[in-house]
A and B are shown apart, each in its own frame.
Chain A
Amino acid sequence: MTDKSTVPAGLYKDTLLAGLWRENPVFRLLLGMCPTLAVTAAVKPAFTMGCCVIFVLLCSNIVVSLMRNLLKPHLRILMFTLTIAAFVTIADLFLKAFQPMMSEVLGPYVPLIIVNCIIICRAEACASKNGLIVSIVDAVGMGIGFTLSLCVLASVRELLSTGAIFEVQILSLLKEGGWFVPWAAMSMPVGAFITLGLLLGLVNLVSKKGQLKG
C-alpha cells in the first residue's frame, strides 16, 4: 500500500509513463484486443472508444482504491465487475444521448468494455493495492496509452482504406483524379490483424534496439 509519507521519488511519473510505453496495454501487454481489432477502421470511433475506456478506468480505479481496505478477497472480482459495469452503463447512456452517431458505429463494443481485460487488470494489479493518487495516475497513463495505441492503429487503417485520417483527405483518390487506390481490405478484420501484427513487430524491434543501447 502506498501513502503520502512513503511515496518513492518519481513514482507518479513512472506510473504515468508505464502505460504509454513500458506496459502499454495494447502493444506490450496485449490486453483489450477486442476493441483494438474491432473499432480501429477509422480514427473517430477509435478515439471515442479510448475516451470511454479512460472514463471507466479512471472511475473504477478511484472506487476500487477507496474501498480496497473493505474488500473481501473472495468477493473482490465480483466487486470489480459491479463497479466497472456501472460506469460502462453510464458511458453507454452518455454516448447514446450526446454522440448518437458514434454510439451506433461502436455498437456492442461500448457495453463490451465491461469485459475489457485492461480495466479489471488495473483494478486488480494497481487500484486494489495502492492509494488514490497512484490509482488515478495509473488510470490516466493506461487510458492514454490505450487511446494512443488505438488511434495509431486506426490512422494506418483509415489512411490505407480511404486515403483520409480523422476524415481529413490526405491522399488524392484515383476516382477523383488523383493516384491513390483505396485498399478496402484495410477496413475489414483482415486489415486489423495485419496492421496490429506489423505494429507489434515494430514496437518489439524498437524495444530491442532500446535494450541493446541501454
Chain B
Amino acid sequence: MFKIKFFFQQSWLLIVASFFFGLLIAVANAAWQGKILQNEEDKFNNLAGEMLPEAASFETALEEVEVDLGKGKQKAITIKKAVADDGRCVGWAFKCEGSGFADKIKLVLAVDAGFEKLKGFGVLASNETPGFGDQIKLPFYRNQFIGAPAEKLVLSKTGDSEKVDSEIVAISGATISSEAVVHIVNTFLPQIKNQIQTKGLVGNDG
C-alpha cells in the first residue's frame, strides 16, 4: 500500500501530463488527418494524371496487394485503375518504393490498360543528392520509361537514351539512384502484373 502511494506521489504529474498531451495530439490528429490524407491522394492523382492524361479519375481496383521486397520484407499497396470520361480503363497506377542513395525513394508507376507498356514514373518522395541523384526527376531519365515494355528493365551505363526499349541508360554521376529506380520498377511491376492478371482485370474495359 505504501509503495503504491509513493508511486503516485512521485509520478502523478507524469501520468496527468501524459494523458493531457495524448489528448492534445489525438485532437490535432482528428482535426487534420482528413486534410493529410487528401494531400497524399492529390499528389498521387496529380502525378498519375500527368502520366495518364486521358484519365478523368482514379478508382481503387485492388487493395492490400502484398509485394515481396526480398529479405523477408513485404509491402501492401493499393492498385488504382485510371478511368476515362466514357468509363474506359486507360491504365493503372500504383505507389512503389525502395532504397535510394540517401534515403527511401517513393514512386508512382503508371502502366497502360493492357499492362504491356509503361506510361512512366513520378517521384512522390526522394532525398537523393541535389545535382546528382535528384536528376531521376528530370525528363532525360524519366522519358526513357515512357513506352518501355512492362517487363524486367536493364540498366546500362552507356547507350541510346532516346531509344524506347527495356534498356535504361543511367544518369552520369548518379548510377546508384538510377539503379534504385530500375530496381524498384523490377521489384513491383512483375508482381503487380501477376496479381492483375490473376484477378482477370487486364483488358477489362468495364
> In the complex the two chains form, is B129's CB within 8 Å of A188's CB?
yes
Complex CA gap A163/B54 in Å reads: 38
CB < 8 Å neighbour of A94 from B11, B21, B32, B39: B32
The B-contacting residues of A in range 64-117, CB under 8 angstroms, are: 67, 70-72, 75, 78-79, 82-83, 85-86, 89-90, 93-94, 96-98, 100, 104, 107
Contacts of B17 in A (CB 8 A): 67, 79, 82-83
Which B residues are CB-close (under 8 A) to A90?
24-25, 28
Q: Does A57 contact B (CB under 8 A)?
A: no
Task: Give every chain A residue within 8 A of B157 (Cβ-Cβ).
Answer: none
Which A residues contact B (CB, under 8 angstroms)?
41, 67, 70-72, 75, 78-79, 82-83, 85-86, 89-90, 93-94, 96-98, 100, 104, 107, 161, 184, 187-188
Contact present for A86 and B130 (CB under 8 Å):
no
State whether the Cβ of B138 lies closer than 8 Å to any Cβ in chain A. Answer: no
Distance, CA A17 to CA B31, complexed state (A) = 37
| In the bound complex, CA of A214 to CA of B132 (Å) | 49
Chain A CB within 10 Å — which of B13, B18, B24 has the most?
A: B13
A-B contact count (CB 8 A): 63
| A104 to B36 CA separation, bound complex (whole angstroms) | 12
- CB-CB under 8 A for A100 and B14, given A86-B24, A93-B36: no
| Contact assessment for A93 and B13 in the assembled complex, using a CB-CB cutoff below 8 Å | no
Q: How far apart are the CA atoms of A75 and B12 in the complex, in Å?
A: 11
Chain B positions near chain A (C-beta within 8 angstroms): 10-11, 13-14, 17-18, 21, 24-25, 28-29, 32, 35-36, 39-40, 43, 103, 125, 127, 129-132
Q: Are B14 and A187 in contact (CB under 8 A)?
A: no
- Pairwise interchain contact B14-A75, C-beta atoms closer than 8 A: yes
- A86 neighbours in B (Cβ, 8 Å): 21, 24-25
Q: How far is the CA of A100 from the CA of B36 in the complex (A)?
A: 8
* Cβ contacts A to B, 29 pairs, < 8 Å: A41-B130, A70-B13, A72-B10, A75-B13, A75-B14, A79-B14, A79-B17, A82-B14, A83-B21, A86-B25, A90-B24, A90-B25, A90-B28, A94-B28, A96-B39, A97-B36, A97-B39, A98-B32, A100-B40, A104-B125, A107-B103, A107-B127, A161-B130, A184-B130, A184-B131, A184-B132, A187-B130, A187-B131, A188-B129
| A79 engages B13 (CB within 8 Å) | yes
